[in-house]
Structure 1
Amino acid sequence: MTSETLAIASFEIPQANGLRIRGEVRVLQDGRRKPVLVLGHGFRAHRLWSFWPDVARRFAEQGYYTVSFDFARIAAEEDRLTDEAIAQAATFGQELADWEAVVSRLRTTGLGLEGDADIENVAVLGHSRAAGSGVLFASREPAVRAVIAWNGGVSAPNAPIAQEGAKLTIREEAILADLTANADRYDVVGTYGDLDIPVLVVYGTADHERLLTAVNELQDAYPEQSFVAIGGADHSFNAKHPYEGFTKHLEDALDNSLRFLRRVFSSELNGGNTL
């Protein structure tokens, strides 16, 4: 733990078509500007799901200006927008736009407590589908200096498939149409070849077979990037929702992520906190 005060500031970013992004910033107020870490939750989660508040707190305590936010699809459902608006909010394209909106606001008017943020040194960490969108976003945002992918970011986004005898939902149809129309733009694997920043892929050995196969293929193609296997960890590193506390597997994922970030931001974190 640390003796400095951990400050929290909330923010909201209006988007087109009635969408909005909500989130929080967590940062130690110790008088130093800190590298920014932006956290992106998985497709079925949200910023308050299971381990995310605890993970955000721990990164902040280790010396990062930590940003956690809900992708716009979360508020779209809560606000009971039209079915079409909710469906479009769930697309991969909107997820990319949400990453961009958060970092753009950070670098312009700020998200709160911006005096503590070193906006020229940004890293992103995404879980599951957001790991892939995080990789793509990082390839297009010059301020991003590193990417962490937790149990994802190793293949193209999953396309919805209708169950036998059933039709795709409106949301699934929108997601599929977006993926089909932008297949080249959403080439997550190919993007690694264009990156000139480091990536850490952290994955559980008990995750889905499709992901494990994709990890092996990606590691063969891009051995210069970093890969860490968490033995026995499932897709959520064995954490539960409702939250029951940090698991050993989640602790391993966090520790490896912190070591990776320290290597990337070694000069910025000089004299900062360590585990």
Structure 2
Amino acid sequence: MIKKNQILTRKEQKPIVFDLFFNKTKELKPLVIFCHGYKGFKDWGAWDLVANTFKNCDLFFVKFNFSHNGGTVEQPIDFPDLEAFAENNYSKELQDLDDLLSYLCSENNSFLNEIDTKNITLIGHSRGGGIATIRANEDNRITKLITWASVSAFGKRTSTTGDLEQWKKDGVKYVLNGRTKQQMPHNYQFYLDYKANKERLNIEKACKNIQIPHLIIHAKDDPSVTFEEAKSLHSWNPKSELFAIKNSDHVFDAKHPWNHNLMPKALQMVTNKSLDFILNH
């Protein structure tokens, strides 16, 4: 069963759009929640192929758009709502993930009888890896953590701290989206939120506290988030497992759109390793 573009409405907050992939069975299925990265969205590239692979292994797979990622309920792909994108920040993404997880584990979820709420894995790609790591440290409902090409420090990202004086003066700065050619706005509130929540948003601190099984997957030649960041994550949690992908990139050789029936070999390796980790821990 595939349920696309489900909507979680919230009081005084933007809705969350999400997809469910699962096989209806009598057995409860481990829950897997996937968090996209910066300038990402749930329908990007080969993510549907990934979701189907998890579904076919009898997992309950959920992917979603962060509420301020720039998509809308009507158009969840790409970035029609740049005003929302400008008002995004790490705290909102953490709240989105918490709200979605709480909904999935609640009686309000009509598919609750399909989910093993005592077996919950977070997967985060890129910036989503940092969000997943912090959430996994804060939330004892989460039993496993997997990061794909994750950042190791929010404070070192140019989206967080670059051009501070000019950013404060202008109130907004822009980042070019090379694919859509949009100038993506970041309001200065992004930096203020980071500063106000710097202790909570410390990925190193979160990593050092994590006690659950933790898998770190990263391409050795990642040009966007270097492999050194994966090594840092692993060093902060020596009990974690570091799995290196050779001769690949930040999105494991996928792209958007992805018009093929099979995912690229590197992404297939990432998916297979993640499945093995979930099913054998």
TM-score between the two structures when normalised by the length of structure 1: 0.84
Question: Do the aligned partners of 1:20 and 1:75 also contact (CA within 8 Å) in 2?
Answer: no
The counterpart of 1:175, out of the listed 176, 190, 199, is 190
* Alpha-carbon distance change, 93 to 164 in structure 1, aligned in 2, over 3 angstroms: closer
Asked if 1:161 is matched to 2:162, the reply is yes
Is the partner of 2:253 in helix, strand or coil?
coil
Q: CA deviation at 1:18?
A: 4.5
| C-alpha distance in structure 1 between counterparts of 2:121 and 2:214, whole Å | 10
User: Which residue does 2:233 correspond to in 1?
Assistant: 218
Deviation (angstroms), 1:7: 4.4
Distance 1:244 1:177 in 2: 40
Match of 1:99 in 2: 97
- For the 8 Å contact 2:225–2:250, the answer to whether it is kept is no
Say yes or no: does 1:87 pair with 2:102: no
Deviations 1:216-253 (A, max 9, x none): 23333322101100001111001011113311110110
2:204 corresponding residue in structure 1 = 189
Structure 1 pair 251/185, CA: closer, same or farther in 2 (3 Å)?
A: same
* Aligned residue number for residue 181 of structure 2: none
Instruction: Evaluate the alpha carbon distance shift between residue 81 and residue 202 of structure 1 in structure 2; reply closer, same or farther with a 3 A threshold.
Output: closer
Q: Judge conservation of contact 1:207–1:233 (CA < 8 Å) in 2.
A: yes
SS in 2 for 1:24: strand
Match of 1:126 in 2: 124
Please list the CA deviations of residues 74-104 of structure 1 after superposition, one character each: whole Å capped at 9, or x if unmatched. 4666787794x5433x101101001001001
- Count residues in correspondence: 257
- In the TM superposition, what are the counterparts of 1:237-252 in structure 2 within 5 Å? 237-245=252-260, 246-252=263-269
**How many Å separate the matches in 1 of 2:233 and 2:54?**
27
Quick one: structure 1 residues 113 and 7, their matched pair in 2 at CA, closer, same or farther if it must change by over 3 Å? farther
2:245 matches 1:230: yes
Task: Tell me the equivalent position of 1:13.
Answer: 8
8 Å CA contact 2:39, 2:69 repeated in 1: no
Matches of 1:210 and 1:241 in 2, distance apart? 19
Q: Residues 154-202 of structure 1, C-alpha deviation per residue, up to 9 Å, x if partnerless? A: 3335224239988542624122111111111101111111111011110
Q: Is 1:133–1:153's contact at 8 Å kept on the other side of the alignment?
A: no
Partner Cα separation in structure 2 for residue 163 and residue 179 of structure 1: 13
Tell me, in whole angstroms, the C-alpha distance in 2 between the residues paired with 1:164 and 1:233.
36
Query: How far apart, CA to CA, are the structure 2 residues paired with 1:216 and 1:146?
Result: 19
Counterpart Cα distance in 2 of 1:181 and 1:164: 18
The change in CA–CA distance for 1:13 and 1:216 in structure 2 (over 3 A counts) is same
- Name the amino acid aligned to 2:23: L
Determine the structure 1 residue equivalent to 2:36.
41
Mapped partners of 1:35, 1:9: distance in 2: 19
Q: Give the distance between the partners of 2:70 and 2:109, measured in 1 at CA.
A: 18
On the 8 A contact 1:154/1:188 being kept in 2, the answer is yes
Q: Which runs of 5+ in 2 are unaligned?
A: 75-79, 174-184
Report the secondary structure of 2:186's partner residue.
helix
| RMSD, matched Cα | 2.5
Does structure 2 retain, via aligned residues, the 8 Å contact 1:11–1:111? no
Relative to structure 1, is the Cα distance of residues 178 and 243 closer, same or farther in structure 2, using a 3 angstrom cutoff?
same
Shift of 1:131: 0.5
In the superposition, relative to structure 1, how do residues 242 and 163 fare at CA in structure 2: closer, same or farther (>3 Å)?
A: farther
